[in-house]
């Protein structure tokens, strides 16, 4: 078992590792997200994603991109801590942080065989075109009802008024 820190890669290191994995014939799966406060819904989602291939790469939104997307009060958990926590999960083989609002540029660099996104994003999957153009496929993961970071934050605020 690799240590947590070795699973967190820079973008450049991940590109080199992706080439190595391709040469080994590994089916590489990519998913992404903020994963601000990890909960059971995330674990189900990531386990589903991992089951789609041999290796799971998680693209993690940086703190800067989360603030642009979700506002100045987010993230709750800093990117280095989120990356370490996610890298410790058995389902995840690699974590790479990205600064863009969408993962499409990173997906274009890595060209995974499978791109997984939650089914609530069926209307738009960033990176879909490049994956499908290169013979890959997009898989929509089922949601676990009632579990979301936004709902968890709301519950915490309600309980601690």
Q: Residue 115 in contact with residue 138, Cβ under 8 Å?
A: yes
pLDDT digits (tens, 9 = 90+) for 33-82: 999 889 989 999 999 999 999 999 999 999 999 999 999 999 999 999 99
pLDDT digits (tens, 9 = 90+) for 12-36: 999 999 999 999 999 999 999 999 8
One DSSP character per residue, 72-121 reads: TT--SS-HHHHHHHHHTSTT-SEEEEE-SSSSHHHHHHH--SEEEEEGGG
Structural domain that includes position 107: 4-159
Domain count, the chain: 1
Before 100, cis peptide (omega within 30)?
no
Whole-prediction pTM:
0.92
Nearest residue to 58 via CA among 133, 120, 117: 117
CATH of the domain at 96: 3.40.50.620
What's the pLDDT at 134?
98
């Amino acid at each position: 078992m690799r240590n947590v820190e070795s699973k967190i890669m820079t973008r450049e290191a991940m590109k080199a590792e992706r080439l190595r994995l391709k040469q080994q014939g590994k089916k590489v799966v990519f998913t992404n997200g903020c994963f601000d406060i990890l909960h059971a819904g995330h674990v189900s989602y990531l386990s589903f994603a991992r089951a789609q291939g041999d290796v799971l790469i998680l693209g993690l939104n940086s703190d800067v991109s989360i603030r642009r997307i979700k506002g100045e009060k987010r993230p709750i958990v800093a990117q280095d801590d989120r990356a370490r926590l996610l890298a410790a999960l058995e389902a995840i083989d690699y974590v790479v942080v990205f600064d863009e609002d969408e993962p499409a540029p990173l997906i274009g660099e890595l060209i995974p065989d499978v791109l997984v996104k939650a089914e609530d994003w069926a209307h738009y999957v960033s990176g879909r075109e490049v994956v499908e153009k290169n013979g890959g496929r997009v898989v929509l993961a089922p949601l676990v009802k009632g579990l979301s970071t936004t709902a968890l934050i709301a519950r915490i605020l309600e309980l601690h008024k």
